[in-house]
Amino acid sequence: MAEDVNTSLLGLLPEIILLCTAAVVLLMGLARRDVLRRLTQWTAVIGVIVAFVAAYSNDVQSHTTALGTFLTLLTCGIGLLLLFSAWEMPFAMDPAHTDRHYRGEFFAMLLCSLAGVSMMAKVNNLIWLFLALELVSIPTYIVVATGRGQSEAQEAGIKYFFLGALSAAIYLFGFSYLYGFSGSTQFSAITAVFQSDISRHQLPWMAILGLLLVLLGISYKIAAVPLHFYAADVYQGAATPVTAFLSFAPKAAGFVAIILLLGLTGWHFSSGPDVTIPALLTVMAVLTMTIGNVLALLQRNIKRMFAYSSIAHSGYILAALVAGPALVAGGGWAHDGVAAALFYLAAYSLMTVGAFAALIYMQGKADGAEDIDDIAGISSEHPMTAACMAICLLSLIGMPGTIGFLGKLFIVQADLSTGHWILAVFVVVNAAIAAAYYLRIIAAMYVREPWTPSHVRTTLAPRFAAALCAAMVIGFGLAPSRLLSDIRHAADYMAGSSGTVRLTVFKGRAKITSHFPTGSFGRGRRSSLLTDPLAGYARRSRLAGDQNSCVVKHEFIFARPLKKDTAWSTARLLPPSPVLERNPAVVALRMSARLIVR
């Protein structure tokens, strides 16, 4: 299925649209006519909307995975909000900055980076993954360094870029081991080698070392320990719309890359030296969220504070990833760490972009509202923007009724149900710590008297973005079903990829035996098998197994001779999505239907 992407470009249509728009925008920025140059933002927005619509169409969706579609939709949606909040870039970002003629390049860079994020889930080999990661990063290096004229931006640029090159070298070293261990760069081939090694309960050290290095390298993209320390300086130094961009694009790309790469192993780390990887992920998650939150408490600069809080939120998502995917597609939310991670990623993007958009609106002055004093008492003059910001901040805390609450809830649920209760405790404690500094901003806006006269921007766009984000934070918080079902499909891509399924057909009886290794990565997951979608259709389902493995047997009886329609309708009891084909149980059922018809 993934190979189709290579043969058919249709699945990549949204990315192609984004890149073409980037080229057009780049040229429009150089236009002779002022009118044309003023239209660059509009062109960029139209391009993103067209890409969104394209990603929604069935033709495109059928050529890609649900994870790919979800990521493209998320990227285009958040990208649109980011474009709105960057509307004036790099114009009146600071009046001292007089270079007024390169906004075309700026928006072209944003679009290229968005195309990279959107492509991330559609890659099918290591080389492509490497190039997609660089396509996300290289434009961000450029916009960080050139986003505004002050020397802080250049300091941020050099730090960001050099550390980025280091991280690229580290994860490439990991990639070289992954390639060397399997002899192929194709994901499918690597998965096959992993699976055969896992069945021998012994992964070679090279594979583990490769994965460790890749995780360390990518930790830079998601701003997690150990390569997190650049975040504060870079977030502070970059222009605020760029900062908002940084809190979404590299993070989304990095997390999806991690999901894909852990998916290569089948998320299976049960015995032997393989424990290294879940242990590393757990340590990374705990350190990331704790360090982020504690350091955020000490900040007075709002952008630095958001930098540390962004580190902390990466820790939450890592905590979700430790829980791993659901064992079977269509299982409940409680067991699905990948779905929780994707949901939190979407939620975090919405909340943080909303907060940044509000901040950009309040940044009328030359150096912007960066200190917490700058937004003191702003609610009396700009109640609407302050309310948007407050909603986003409350959601970042995790107030019930907001999307942030649901996100944390799913993470805690996933961790608890898979036996990682320590992580769940850490998430909850950290959420409480985080409340302190978010509430400080809200208190400054609502309780304190204005410190300095406030200057706000005259453009509508950042305000519009903030309002949109706040509305969605509440809307999805109260009625999340649509988002949930999309994410459910996206995460099902990973679900069940760890199991093996044996199918036996005898005289109209189809027996499907699924064998799921459990273990340190999935302790306590066995109960989730009760929600196995096949269970409802089987004549008899049995569950057996010991500490380390779990066997599910389903028996189906079909009267012989079967009518073609009957058999297929059995197969169609499962959602007819190409996504589910990765789930061995579904494949087996489809196979059985085919066999019986024959």
Partner 1 sequence: MDYALAVATALGALSIYLLLPRGRGSLVKTGALVGVLTLGAAMLYLLRWAGLQEGVSQGAGLNVFFCLFALIAVISATAVICHPRPLYCALYFVLLTLALAGLFILLFAQFMAIVLIIIYAGAILVTYVFVIMLASPGGNVTVADYDRVTTNPLLAVLVSFVLLGTVLQLMFIGKPRAFMAARPAGPVAVGMAMGHKILAGKPALADPKPTSKMGVMELLGVNLYSQYALPLELAGILLTISLVGAVMIARKNEPAAGVLGTGQMPTE
Partner 2 sequence: MPVMSQAVLFEYLSLGAVLFVLGLIGFVARRNMILIFLSTEIMFQGVAVNLIAFGRYWMNMDGQSFVIFLLTIAAAEASLALGLVILLFRRRETLNVDVWSEMQG
Judged by the rule CB under 8 A, the positions of this chain that interact with partner 2 are 126-127, 130-131, 134, 138, 141-142, 145, 151-152, 154-159, 161-162, 165-166, 168-170, 172-173, 175-177, 179-180, 183-185, 232-233, 236-237, 298-301, 304
524, with CB counted inside 10 A (0-12, 13-18, 19+), is: middle
CB atoms under 10 Å from CB of 530, counted, come to 12
Residue 300 binds: one of partner 1, partner 2, none (C-beta under 5 to 8 A by kind): partner 2
Q: How far is the CB of 86 from partner 2 (least distance, A)?
A: 21
Residue 32 binds: one of partner 2, partner 1, none (C-beta under 5 to 8 A by kind): partner 1
Stretch that binds partner 1, among 108-116, 310-318, 372-380, 556-564 (CB under 8 A): 108-116
Q: How far is the CB of 205 from partner 1 (least distance, A)?
A: 4
Does position 581 interact with partner 1 (CB under 8 A)? The reply is no
In the chain, the amino acid numbered 161 is: F
Whose CA is closest to 492, among 591, 581, 411? Answer: 581
Residue 298 binds: one of partner 1, partner 2, none (C-beta under 5 to 8 A by kind): partner 2
Q: How far is the CB of 59 from partner 1 (least distance, A)?
A: 19
User: Kindly report the CA angle at 307 between 305 and 311, in degrees rounded to 5?
Assistant: 115
Residue 139 binds: one of partner 2, partner 1, none (C-beta under 5 to 8 A by kind): partner 1
- C-alpha 286/C-alpha 70 separation (Å) is 28
Site map 133..172 versus partner 1, x via CB under 8 A: -xx--xx-xx--xx--x-------x---------------
Stretch that binds partner 1, among 107-115, 286-294, 305-313, 516-524 (CB under 8 A): 107-115
Q: Kindly write down the DSSP assignment for every residue of 486-529, as one continuous string.
A: HHHHHHHTTTTTT-EEEEEEETTEEEEEEEEE-STTTTTGGGGG
Does position 489 interact with partner 1 (CB under 8 A)? The reply is no
Instruction: Report how far apart, in Å, the C-alpha atoms of 31 and of each of 48, 93, 105, 106, 130 are.
Output: 21, 22, 12, 14, 34
Does position 100 interact with partner 1 (CB under 8 A)? The reply is yes
Please give the residues from 166 up to 195 whose contact with partner 1 meets the rule CB under 8 A: 180-181, 183, 193
Q: Which is nearer to partner 1, 194 or 344 (CB)?
A: 194
Whose CA is closest to 512, among 461, 426, 570, 447? Answer: 570
Beta bridge partners of 512: 503, 554
Q: Phi and psi at residue 248, in whole multiples of 5°?
A: -110, -60
Does position 88 interact with partner 1 (CB under 8 A)? The reply is no
- Report residue 491 as tokens: 């995460």
- In which region does residue 224 sit, left (phi positive, over 0), alpha (psi from -120 to 50) or beta (all else)? beta
Residue 168 binds: one of partner 2, partner 1, none (C-beta under 5 to 8 A by kind): partner 2
Helix (H, G, I), strand (E, B) or coil at 576: coil
Kindly give, in sequence order, each residue whose CB lies less than 8 Å from that of residue 59, ignoring residues fewer than 6 positions away. 10
Q: Which is nearer to partner 2, 308 or 344 (CB)?
A: 308
Does position 128 interact with partner 1 (CB under 8 A)? The reply is yes
Stretch that binds partner 1, among 91-99, 246-254, 325-333, 385-393 (CB under 8 A): 91-99
Helix (H, G, I), strand (E, B) or coil at 553: strand
Binding test (CB under 8 A) with partner 1, winner from 4, 197, 555, 581: 197
Q: Which is nearer to partner 1, 142 or 289 (CB)?
A: 142
Q: How far is the CB of 552 from partner 2 (least distance, A)?
A: 37
Q: How far is the CB of 133 from partner 2 (least distance, A)?
A: 10
Kindly give, in sequence order, each residue whose CB lies less than 8 Å from that of residue 246, ignoring residues fewer than 6 positions away. 140, 144, 234, 235, 238
Q: How far is the CB of 95 from partner 2 (least distance, A)?
A: 20
- Report residue 194 as tokens: 């992993």
Binding test (CB under 8 A) with partner 1, winner from 1, 131, 425, 433: 131
Element (H, E) at 543: strand 540-545
- Please, what is the end-to-end C-alpha distance for the chain in angstroms? 24
Binding residues (CB under 8 A) for partner 1: these are 5-6, 12, 19, 26, 32-34, 37, 97-102, 105, 108-109, 112, 125, 127-128, 131-132, 134-135, 138-139, 141-142, 145-146, 149, 157, 180-181, 183, 193, 197, 202, 204-206, 209
